[in-house]
């Protein structure tokens, strides 16, 4: 008998491919919080899901990962919920 608890655990990564794949599988787009943008540069990073959040500006993956790397953060995410459904749980944490 296999346990689903392992798949519901959160995983931390800085791997761009894993982050992008996780987001795109859930319909997520790279974004930045509008109120934190400065001088044309991305502010606080977010993953935006439809319907779009009006407080966010969607940005390119290149811009997203440039800010991600500069910020020294990691992406904490959950692949599946305890009941096996695709999870959208994620957050950015200090690395």
Domain ranges of the chain: 7-94
Convert the pLDDT of each residue in 6-44 to its tens digit: 457 899 999 999 999 999 999 999 999 999 888 877 889
pLDDT bracket for residue 5 (50, 70, 90): very low
State CA 1 to chain mean position distance: 32
Cis peptide before 51 (omega within 30 of 0): yes
DSSP 27: T
Residue where the block lists tokens 């606080």: 44
**Which residue from 24, 35, 77 is spatially nearest to 57, judged by alpha carbons?**
35
Pairwise CA distance, residues 43 & 37, whole Å: 4
Residue 86, both tokens: 């695709």
pLDDT at 2: 37
pLDDT at 39: 83
pTM of this structure: 0.86
Residue 89, both tokens: 């749980």
């Amino acid at each position: 008998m296999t346990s689903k608890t392992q798949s519901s655990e959160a995983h931390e990564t800085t791997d761009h491919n894993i982050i992008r794949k996780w987001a795109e599988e859930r319909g997520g787009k790279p974004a930045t919080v509008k109120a934190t943008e400065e001088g044309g540069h991305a502010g606080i990073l977010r993953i935006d899901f439809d319907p779009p959040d009006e407080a966010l500006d969607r940005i390119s993956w290149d811009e997203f990962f440039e800010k991600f790397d500069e910020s020294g953060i990691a992406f904490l995410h959950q692949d599946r919920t305890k009941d096996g459904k695709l999870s959208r749980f994620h957050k950015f944490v200090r690395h």
